[in-house]
Amino acid sequence: MTKIASASVVSGDTNYVHQVRAGHFDLVTDEPKALGGQGQGPAPFDYYLAALSACTAITLRMYAERKGWSLGEFRAELALTRDEEGRLHIHRVLHSDQALSDAQWERLLEVVANTPVTKALREGAEITSERGR
C-alpha cells in the first residue's frame, strides 16, 4: 500500500486537550467547555470538516486554473448535521466573488462531488487497530 498521510496524537493530563502531529505540522484538538474540554482547539469533527473544506478549495482552484477561470476569492461553507436516524450529512455552499456562468458553476459542482476527500468520506475507509509495543 502507498502511504498518503500520517498523524499521531499525544494525550496529556488536561481534559481533553491533545497534541496532534499531522505530517510535519503541530495541531491542538480539544472539546468545547460545554462537553468537559478546555476549548483550546478545534474538536475532531471540526477537523473533519476542515479537511473536506481544504480539499474542496484546493481541488476547485486547481481545476479552475487548468480551465483558465478566475475564482478570485473562493469560499466554501460546510455544515455537519445528524438526522433522526443518526446518519451524518454534510452540506457545502460554495461562493466566488467572480462572475462565473451557470455552466461554469454546474461543472464546479460536478468536480467538487469527486474531490479526493469527498470520495474518501463517501466511500469510507477500512480502519484497523492494534496494540503498540
> What pLDDT digit, counting tens, does each position of 98-108 carry?
999 999 999 99
| pLDDT at 119 (0 to 100) | 96
DSSP codes, the chain: ------EEEEE-SSTT-EEEEETTEEEEE---GGGTS---S--HHHHHHHHHHHHHHHHHHHHHHHHT----SEEEEEEEEE-TTS-EEEEEEEEESS---HHHHHHHHHHHTT-HHHHHHHH----------
| pLDDT at 120 (0 to 100) | 95
**Fold classified for 43-125:** GMP Synthetase; Chain A, domain 3 (3.30.300)
> What pLDDT digit, counting tens, does each position of 8-35 carry?
999 988 889 999 999 999 999 999 999 9
Q: Where in the chain are the domains?
A: 1-42, 43-125
| pLDDT at 14 (0 to 100) | 81
Share the mean pLDDT of the chain. 95
Q: Which of these ranges, 50-54, 102-106, 129-133, has the smallest mean pLDDT?
A: 129-133
Q: How confident is the model at residue 45 (pLDDT cuts 50, 70, 90)?
A: very high
Tell whether the model's pLDDT for residue 96 goes beyond 90: yes
| pLDDT at 13 (0 to 100) | 84
Stretch 31-51: mean pLDDT, rounded?
A: 95
| pLDDT at 81 (0 to 100) | 97
